[in-house]
Amino acid sequence: MPGSNLLSELPEELLQDVLERLQKADLTSLNLVSRWCYEVATPLVWRQVELVDCGTEHGDGRDEHDDGGIVRKLLLLARRPNLARSVHVLTHRCHLPPPAIFSELPYNTFSAQTLSTDPRTIRLVQHAVALMTHVHTLRIIFGHPNLTDALLRCFFDTNRALPGSGYNPIRKLWLENCRISAGLNPSIESHPYGLPLQLDFTGLESVRFRRLPMRPVMALDWFRATIVYSRGGRFRKLLDGTGGRYDTTLNGFEVESRDGDEHLLWLENRRVYHSPDGEAVSDLGPSPLEALYEQASRWDDMIYESLPTTGDLSLPSDVEELGFLSLHDRSVMAYRGQSIDCGPPDSSETENAYPTMRRDNLLTRTRAYKAMQRETIPSSTAAIMMLRSAGSTLTSLTLDWVLSIPPLSWSPIATNRYLGWLSMYQNLFGCRFPHLRAFQFRNSVVPDTLLLPGFYLFDRSFRTTRETLGLPAWAREDKDDPEMLSLELAGLEFMEAHPKLQCLAWPMDHFFAPGEMDSEIATRVQAVVENLGRTLTDLRVDSLYSGTGEPQSEAWVCHDYGARASRRKFITEFATKMQKIESIKIEGGMPRDERREVVRALHNNPLNKIVMIGVCSPLGNTWGYEGADVSQSLVVDSELDGLEAEDKPTIFELGPTKPNPPPLDFKYDLEYGWEGSAPMLHTIASYHASTIRELKFCGYKGAPVLLSPTPITNPLLAPLKHFHALESIILSMHLTTLFEGASRDNEVISYWLNSRTPTSTALVHITDEEPEGWEKELRTKFAPDALAWRITNFVAPFLSERAKGRKGGVHVRASFCIGENGGLFDVDLWVGKGVLGSDVCLGFKGPREELEEERRRGKLEGRRWF
C-alpha cells in the first residue's frame, strides 16, 4: 500500500485524526500491510472490544450460548499485553435478542445458572482484566451472570484503586438486562471462582441501570420467574425484536432451584467409597447438580480442546489446571444458589421450613445452603452500596425502567416486601453526590417499574390516607410507620443536596402531591425549583402507559383525579418556572392536552428538541373516530379501540395558517380540553419554531398512513414548514402490508432482512416491466429504495424550504410497527434540494430494526448523559 508510506510522514495528531475516521474493517485490513501499519492501527482496532457468545450446532444438540469467541478473545488479551492496554471500552452482551419490555422483561430473572460456568473462562477474565489498564467504560448488556460477576469484581477490585497501581479508573458503567446483586456486593467473605472479595467504585462518574431487576424484596415469587436462559433445556419461543419469534433453550427457575435442594439431600444421604483407582464414588450416583451442568461442561471442554496447546497463545498454567476439575466440583462451583435477591436463611428460618429434620442434618443443610448461595443481599442494596462507594465522583445517575416493585400479594411476607420497598427509596435518596449533574428516574411507564405510591420529589410524601394510595389493608393500619415518616421529605432533601443538576427525569405525577402544599416546606420547595430553573437544560417526564391509547383530555372524564392533579401541578408549579430547558421528553399515558400545556408552559425556554411518545400518535388521529376514515384494508380492528374523533373544522382552518408567536407580555394560563384546539404541531410552532432543531413523535395508533394518507393528514403536518432550524424529525407512520385480503407483514420483514445492503446514496427507478402480483407490490412499495422514495415524496412537501436547502438537508426517520409481534423498523433518509430546486433524497439507510448492528452501536454511543 503506497499510501501507508505517506501516512507515516504525517504529524501524530493529524495521523490519529485520519485513522479514527476509518471503519473497524478498514483498520483491520490496514494493520496487515506492514509492521508500521500494524503498530498504528492495532490500538484503534482494539480500542472497543465486545465479548459476545454465539449459537453453535453440536452432534448432541444446539448450544445456545457458546463462549468460544469470548474465550479466544480473552486468551488474546491475557497473552498480548499490548492489545489489553489498547482497550478503552469493553462491552459484554449475549447474542440473543434482549427480552421484550412488556411481555418478557417482568418474568425474567437473568439468573441463568448454566451460562458461562467454566472456571477456566472466569480465570481468563481475571488474567485479561489485570492487563487492561486503560478501560474507562464498561457495558454489560444482557450479560451472562458469571461473566457479569467476574467483570464487575475484577474491574472494581480494591487493589486496582490503590495509589500507584497503574490502572485508570472505570468512569462509565452501563448495566442492562443482567443480575447485579452478586457482582456489585462490595464486600463478601468468599467466592467459589476466587474473584476479588473487596470492591471500590471510586472514580465512577456515570452509572446507568437499565431494564434489570433491582428489587429490595426478601424473596421473589417463583411463579413469575418463567424465563431462565440455559445451555440445554427445553426450547421455547421468545420475541425476536423484528416482529416474529425465535426458539431458544430455557429452564424454569423452580427446576434449577429444585436441583440445588435435591443436591443438599444427596449430600446428607450419600455414602462415599473409593474405586480401585482411588477415586471417591458416591453410592447414590451423580449429584443432581452434575446433571444440571453436564451438557454445558461437555460443550466447554470442546471449546478448550480446540485451543492451541503450545506457543504464546496457549492457556496459562493456572487456567489449564482448572480443566482437570471433576464435573462434581465444577457443578458445585457454578451453582449460584436457590434464592434470588435474598440472603441465606438463618437456622431458625430453615427450621421453620424443615420442622421434622434432625438438628445435625439441619445444620449441615444450612451450612451447605450458605456455601452455595451466591447472592446474599438484595440487588437494590448492592446497587445503593455501590453508589455510596462512588459518591465522591459520580456526576450522572440513571435508573431506566428497573424492576423495583415487589409483588404485594396475600403471602405472609407481603409486609416485609413492602417495608423493603420503602427502605430502597430511603437508602437511595439518602445518598449524596456532590458533583451530580444528571439524575434520571425513568420508572413509571409499565406496572412492574412503578414508583412507590405516595412518594413525591418536591412535596411531603404519604400525607394522604393509605386507602388513596391503593395499599393493602395491612399497610393502612399503622399511619405513623417510622419507615414512611423518614421518607416524608426524602425527595426534597435529596434535591436540596444536589443544586447543580442539568438533567432531570421523573414521573410527571410524582413531582407534587395533589392538594395544597404544606406551608412548612413551601419556601424550601420554591427555592429548589427556582434554582433548577436556572440550571436545568434537559427535562424528561413520563407516566404509566394507558393500554389502548392516550385520551385527548381528562378535563371531563378522569380515572384518577389525584394523578391528574399532580400532573397539572407539575405544569403550573414546575414547568412554568423553568428558564433554560433545551430538551423536553414526554412519554407515557398522559392526555394530549397535558402534553400541549407542558410545551406552552415552557414558552420562554430555548427549546431545541421536543420528544413525545405514546400509544397513539401525539400529533393527532388521522384515522378518524375508531378508524372510520381509513379503509378496512389498511388497519385491523384491534388497532381501532380508543381512537377519538378530531375537531376537523378547527384543524382544517388552523392547520395551514401561519402560527402566531405569543405576545411579548404573554403570561401562561391553563387551557385544558381539546375541542377547538389547534393541531399539536401548530401549537409547538407558535411557541418554539425559531429554536427547534429536533422533533420526535412516536405513537402508531392513528399515525399518518404512508401509502394512502387521509385528508386530515395535511393540516396536521402543515406547520412543519415553519420550523426553519429543523435538522431532524422522527415520525411514526402506519404501513399496511395487506394484499388480496391477507397481511404480508412477515414476507415484507423477510424481504427487508434478506435484501439489506451497504448504505445506498441513490434511488433505483422501478419500471413498468416488473413482474405482476405480490412480487411487483413487494418491489414497488416495500423495497428499501422504493420505500425511501415514497417517504421522501410524503414528508418533503411539509418541510421548510430553508431547512431543506442547508448542506445535508433534513434528517427524516420514518418508524414503522409491523409484524405479528410488533417489530419496529426505521428508515433513515436525508431530504434536501436538487440542482433544479426539487426535493430529493440525498441518501438513506434501512429499514433497520433496533438490534441492527450499526443502529445498536449508534444508540449506545449517542446516549445522552452517559
pTM: 0.90
Q: Are residues 365 and 325 in the same domain?
A: yes
- Most confidently predicted of 321-325, 352-356, 759-763: 321-325
Count how many residues are written for the chain.
866
**Helix, strand and coil in the chain, % to nearest 5:** 40, 15, 45
Cα separation, 617 vs 814, whole angstroms: 13
pLDDT given for residue 276 in this prediction:
63
Greater pLDDT, 486 or 314: 314
463 and 563 both lie in a single domain: yes
pLDDT score recorded for residue 264: 75
Binning pLDDT at 50, 70 and 90, where does residue 712 land? Answer: very high
Structurally, the chain folds into a number of domains equal to: 3
Q: Three-state SS for 55? A: strand
Task: Determine the pLDDT at residue 464.
Answer: 61
| Confidence check: pLDDT of 7 > 80 | no
Q: Is the pLDDT of residue 448 over 90?
A: no
Calculate mean pLDDT across residues 393-410. 82
477 and 550 in a common domain:
yes
Note whether residue 3 is domain-resident.
no
- The domain boundary, picked from 374, 393, 412, lies at 393
Which residue has 415552557 as its cell numbers?
A: 602
Cell numbers at 131, concatenated: 492487563
Count Cα atoms within 13 angstroms, Cβ side, for 187.
2
**CB of 538 closer than 8 Å to CB of 502:** yes
Please indicate, yes or no, whether residues 722 and 764 belong to a single structural domain of this protein: no
Establish if 853 belongs to a structural domain: yes
Q: Are residues 265 and 160 in the same domain?
A: yes
For residues 765-790, give the mean pLDDT: 81
Confidence of residue 373 (pLDDT cuts 50, 70, 90): confident
Whole-angstrom CA distances from 405 to 217, 257, 428, 467, 781 are 9, 23, 15, 18, 45
Q: 72-102 burial string, b = 16+ CB within 10 Å, else e? A: bbbbebbbbeebbbbbbbbbbbbebbbbbbe
**Can you tell me the mean pLDDT for 77-98?**
96
Res. 638 pLDDT band, cuts 50 70 90: low
Q: Quick one: average pLDDT of 56-65?
A: 91
Q: List the domain range (segments joined by +) for residue 862.
A: 735-866
Kindly state whether residues 663 and 745 are assigned to the same domain. no
Please tell me the distance from the alpha carbon of residue 678 to that of residue 646, in angstroms, as a whole number. Answer: 11
Q: What is the pLDDT of residue 277?
A: 63
Of the listed ranges 16-20, 104-108, 642-646, the least confidently predicted one is 16-20
- pLDDT tens-digit series, residues 740-770: 888 899 999 999 988 875 544 444 444 556 5
Same domain, 807 and 822: yes
Exposure class string for 637-652: b at 16+ Cβ within 10 A, else e = eebbebbbebbeebbb
What is the full DSSP assignment across 92-125? EE-SSPPPPTTTTGGGB----TTSS--HHHHHHH
Residue 526 lies in a domain: yes
**What does DSSP assign to residue 212?**
S
d(CA 606, CA 581): 6
Instruction: Report pLDDT for 375.
Output: 86
pLDDT bracket for residue 165 (50, 70, 90): confident
- Judged against a pLDDT cut of 80, whether residue 451 lies above it is answered with yes
Calculate mean pLDDT across residues 583-606.
96
pLDDT band at residue 482 under the 50/70/90 scheme: low
In a shared domain, residues 686 and 835: no
607 and 717 both lie in a single domain: yes
Q: Examine the pLDDT at 312 and tell me if it is beyond 60.
A: yes
Cβ–Cβ under 8 Å, residues 588 and 445? yes
Residue 744 lies in a domain: yes
As beta bridge partners, residue 281 has 273
Q: What pLDDT, on a 0 to 100 scale, did the predictor assign at position 19?
A: 72
C-alpha Rg value of the chain to the nearest Å: 29
Instruction: Confirm whether 724 is domain-assigned.
Output: yes
Alpha carbons 198 and 81: distance in angstroms, whole number: 25
Residue at 19 is within a domain: no
Least Cα distance to 481 among 495, 461, 496 occurs for 461
- Tens of pLDDT, residue by residue over 504-558, are 999 999 999 998 998 899 999 999 999 999 999 999 999 998 878 899 999 888 8
Q: Where is the domain boundary, 372, 393, 414?
A: 393
**589 backbone dihedrals φ, ψ, rounded to 5°:** -100, 10
Neighbours of 24 (CB within 10 A): 12
Same domain, 693 and 751: no
**With pLDDT > 90 as the criterion, what percentage of the chain qualifies?**
58
Confidence of residue 655 (pLDDT cuts 50, 70, 90): confident
Q: Report the pLDDT value the prediction gives residue 633, as an integer from 0 to 100.
A: 63
Q: What string of DSSP letters covers 394-435?
A: --EEEEES-B------SSTTHHHHHHHHHHHHHHHTT---TT
More confident residue, 713 or 232: 713
pLDDT at 405: 79
Asked if 714 and 749 sit in the same domain, the reply is no
In the block, which residue shows the cell 438533567? 503
Q: Is residue 116 very low, low, confident or very high in pLDDT (cuts 50, 70, 90)?
A: very high
Residue 48, pLDDT score: 93
Answer whether residue 553 is part of any domain. yes
Name the percent of the chain lying above pLDDT 70: 85
Q: Of the residues 352, 367, 393, which one is the last residue of a structural domain?
A: 393
pLDDT tens-digit series, residues 795-838: 999 999 999 999 999 999 999 999 888 889 999 999 999 988 89
CB atoms within 10 A of CB 60: 10
Taking the chain, what is the end-to-end CA distance rounded to the nearest angstrom? Answer: 39
Same domain, 617 and 753: no
Q: Does 48 fall in a domain?
A: no
What is the average pLDDT score of the chain? 86
Check whether the bond before 412 is cis (ω within 30° of 0).
no
